[in-house]
Amino acid sequence: MSLHLKWGLTAGEPWALEVTPERAGWTYAGLRVLDLPAGGEVTFATGEEEMLVLPLAGAATVHCAGRRLELAGRASVFAAVTDFAYLPRDATVTVRGQGRFALPSARATRRLPPRYGPAGDVPVELRGAGPASRQVNNFCAPDAFDCDRLVAVEVLTPDGNWSSYPPHKHEDDRVHSDGRVEARLEEIYYFEVAGGSPGDGGGPVGYQRVYGTDRRPIDVLAEVGTGDVVLVPYGYHGPSMAPPGYHLYYLNVLAGPGPTRTMACVDDPRHGWIRGSWAGQSVDPRLPLTRAGGRSCPG
């Protein structure tokens, strides 16, 4: 299976995009996208997976296990940090609303209650410096929101910058000889590019690199548009590149077999030194691009 999935390639009723663990060729991580018209409604079962409902553009009401969760959502991923809903495994769910909604998922063993995640509680981190500056919305990071296995974060990269940099990997559960901790994780990148729309083949683009080691070769350099997905079963991933003129957004979905939720990774040793250079540089003044209450700066 290709590791770069163009918008529409994995569509199947009711999903505009559906990447199950089976389709990805791994065990835990998944992603679906709903595209609802005005007054739209979809009912589905979560099965063995815990999920989130994350508005990409629009608002919705989520009904699950006797709970009604109202999602105010946002106009677009470049307009605001959004609220979201958590869905447990073995649940029947109805989503009513209008817009585009991402449903990151992970195979789960514990059944947690459905919950509402307020936009105002999402930790917003400014990471890197100079042309490696980016914004990370840690809405479902291990320390921010409780799940069984699922980890998900949003990254916004201003036009002309690189993120997911230096390149890093999390393909082994191990402690390296220098003390660095690495975890085995499957990862999905879902992309949107400012000014683009799903399936717009002639629209704005960004770029994503994935490459391996001699032990586990892999080689991807994908030109991605809004709605595209890149799968990372192993190997170094990065940089994610936002060309001049186009802000880049991606949703990271991660899950693995470990008993503790983590995002532990190790840098490519050829490029890890770059982190040390950030101390002498300023964070891109355009950041943060978004806040819980809406956009904080033009563009």
| Residue among 1, 90, 102, 9 at smallest CA distance from 46 | 90
Lowest mean pLDDT among 74-83, 90-99, 211-220: 211-220
Whether the model clears a pTM of 0.85, i.e. scores above it, the answer is yes
- pLDDT, position 295: 60
pLDDT (mean) for 62-91 = 98
CA Rg value for the chain: 18
Q: How far, in whole angstroms, is CA 262 from its chain's centroid? A: 15
What pLDDT does residue 69 have? 98
- pLDDT tens digits for range 7-57: 999 999 999 999 999 999 999 999 999 999 999 999 999 999 999 999 999
- When pLDDT is cut at 50, 70 and 90, the band that residue 176 belongs to is confident
Q: Which of 243, 278, 78, 246 is CA-nearest to residue 165?
A: 278
| 143 Cβ contact list (under 8 Å, min separation 6) | 123
How many whole angstroms separate alpha carbon 129 and alpha carbon 256?
Answer: 30
Res. 86: pLDDT tops 70: yes
Mind listing the pLDDT tens digit for each residue in 234-244? 999 999 999 99
List phi, psi (to 5°) of 277.
-75, -15
Measured torsion, CA atoms of residues 285, 289, 294, 296, in degrees rounded to the nearest 10? 10
pLDDT at position 299: 38
d(CA 119, CA 170): 28
